[in-house]
């Protein structure tokens, strides 16, 4: 009987993975998800390639590995793989949260009574072309989209045609989802090196292998909240964690945000102020244990 229950549980979980079409999904009851790993680089391998191998954004991998040359780290170098995150405070069930501060998208959904979270690295708007913050919803899903080149892009690159058809030269990739802010899309890309960087004209781009997975999960009407949360706090196994990202926020702003979150979650009496301040100064973008 025990084996049968374990088999059924395993089968149910595999079914969830199959239907979600994701490499990994996480329990929706956790505030800290994933497990940090390590990896030894191969000869000629850059952190750009390592990031994609582990479904990470470029900047989050670089931030977690200060002192390592991102373009020529050398063979056999031990690299921290930051596949561990604190769930944004703004994540609500049945919705998407895009945290610009960490360049990562979170989607919460239910399957067969289980509450689950999927997360993907993203590329976002460059300085001066910032992805807007606010509350939106998905109003359209498009497979093999054509790219209608905006005037702002045509001014920079007048050689572009008015419309780029589907195919390998299309910067929207294979799938796109239009938001109620109609100029903003969540889409794939033909330049995967831009995931985890500020490189777009405001849209949100995912790796070519990630966008069809998210596309299949998300329905038209899904709420999308775009935020800047450079500081997150969470709890796992009785320990308190903080995650701080370098997004141009000042240390004073980050301290204020951390104190607010700790108070809201009634965690303020369980942390070491010294450890919290160190996490805020280092801004490694990974969950750091700040418990007493």
- What is the number of other CB atoms lying within 10 angstroms of the CB of residue 70? 15
- Residue 154: predicted pLDDT: 83
Q: Is 77 exposed, middle or buried (0-12, 13-18, 19+ CB in 10 A)?
A: middle
Q: Is 251 helix (H, G, I), strand (E, B) or coil?
A: helix
Q: Is 216 helix (H, G, I), strand (E, B) or coil?
A: helix
Residue 19 has pLDDT above 80, yes or no: no
The closest alpha carbon to 79, from 49, 101, 104, belongs to 49
Structural domain includes residue 58:
no
Same domain, 207 and 241: no
Same domain, 123 and 241: no
Structural domain includes residue 139:
yes
CB 80 within 8 A of CB 34: no
CATH of the domain at 106: 2.40.440.10
CB 207 within 8 A of CB 215: no
Report DSSP state, residue 87: P
Secondary structure element (H or E) that encloses residue 83, with its range:
none
Query: Residue 10: pLDDT band by 50, 70, 90 thresholds?
Result: very low
Instruction: Please list the active-site residues.
Output: 187, 203
Least confident of 10-14, 63-67, 73-77: 10-14
Kindly report, residue by residue over 138-194, the tens digit of the pLDDT: 999 999 999 988 888 888 888 888 888 999 999 999 999 999 998 899 999 999 999
Structural domain includes residue 117:
yes
Residue 223 has pLDDT above 90, yes or no: yes
Percentages helix, strand, coil for the chain (3-state, rounded to 5) are 25, 30, 45
- Average pLDDT on 242-260 reads 93
> Which neighbouring-strand residues pair with 14?
none
Residue 16 has pLDDT above 70, yes or no: no
The closest alpha carbon to 170, from 160, 179, 180, 183, belongs to 160
Tokens of 205: 């781009």
User: Bigger pLDDT: 128 or 137?
Assistant: 137
Tokens of 166: 């589907």
Same domain, 212 and 262: no
Report DSSP state, residue 88: P
Same domain, 235 and 204: no
Same domain, 236 and 199: no
Relative to beta strand 198-200, strand 78-81 is unpaired
Please spell the DSSP secondary structure of 110-162, one letter per residue.
Answer: EETTEEEEEEEE-BEEPTTSPPPPEEEEEEEEEES--EE--HHHHHH-TTS-S
Residue 201 has pLDDT above 80, yes or no: yes
CB 109 within 8 A of CB 217: yes
**What is the rounded radius of gyration, in angstroms, for the C-alpha atoms of the chain?**
20
- Residue 191: predicted pLDDT: 94
- Residue 128: predicted pLDDT: 80
Contacts of 26 (CB under 8 A, 6+ apart): 33, 34, 116, 117, 118, 119
Query: Residue 18: pLDDT band by 50, 70, 90 thresholds?
Result: very low
Task: Give the largest CA-CA distance in the chain.
Answer: 69
| Domain tally, the chain | 2
Same domain, 285 and 217: no
Same domain, 285 and 201: no
Same domain, 222 and 240: no
**Rounded to two decimals, what is the model's pTM?**
0.90
Which range marks the domain in which residue 251 is found? 231-289
């Amino acid at each position: 009987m025990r084996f049968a229950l374990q088999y059924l549980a395993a089968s149910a979980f595999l079914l969830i993975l199959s239907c979600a079409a994701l490499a990994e999904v996480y329990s929706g009851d956790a505030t800290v998800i994933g497990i940090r790993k390590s990896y030894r680089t191969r000869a000629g391998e850059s952190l750009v390639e390592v990031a994609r191998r582990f479904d990470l954004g470029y900047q989050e991998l670089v931030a977690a590995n200060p002192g390592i040359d991102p373009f020529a780290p050398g063979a056999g170098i031990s690299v921290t793989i930051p596949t561990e995150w604190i769930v944004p405070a703004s994540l609500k069930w049945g919705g998407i949260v895009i945290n610009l501060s960490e360049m990562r998208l979170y989607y919460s959904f239910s399957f067969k009574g289980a509450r689950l979270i999927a997360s993907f690295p993203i590329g976002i708007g460059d300085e001066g072309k910032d992805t807007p913050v606010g509350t939106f919803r998905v109003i359209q899903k498009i497979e093999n989209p054509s790219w209608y080149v905006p005037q702002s892009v045509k001014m920079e690159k007048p050689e572009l045609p008015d419309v780029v058809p589907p195919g390998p030269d299309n910067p929207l990739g294979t799938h796109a989802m239009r938001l109620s802010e109609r100029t903003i899309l969540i889409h794939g890309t033909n330049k995967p090196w831009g995931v985890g960087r500020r490189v777009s004209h405001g849209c949100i781009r995912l790796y070519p292998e990630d966008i069809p997975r998210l596309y299949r999960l998300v329905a038209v009407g899904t709420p999308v909240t775009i935020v800047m949360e450079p500081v997150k706090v969470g709890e796992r196994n009785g320990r308190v964690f903080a995650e701080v990202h370098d997004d141009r926020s000042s240390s004073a702003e980050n301290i204020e945000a951390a104190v607010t979150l700790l108070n809201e979650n009634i965690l303020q009496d369980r942390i070491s102020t010294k450890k919290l301040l160190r996490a805020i100064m280092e801004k490694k973008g990974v969950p750091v244990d700040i418990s007493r």
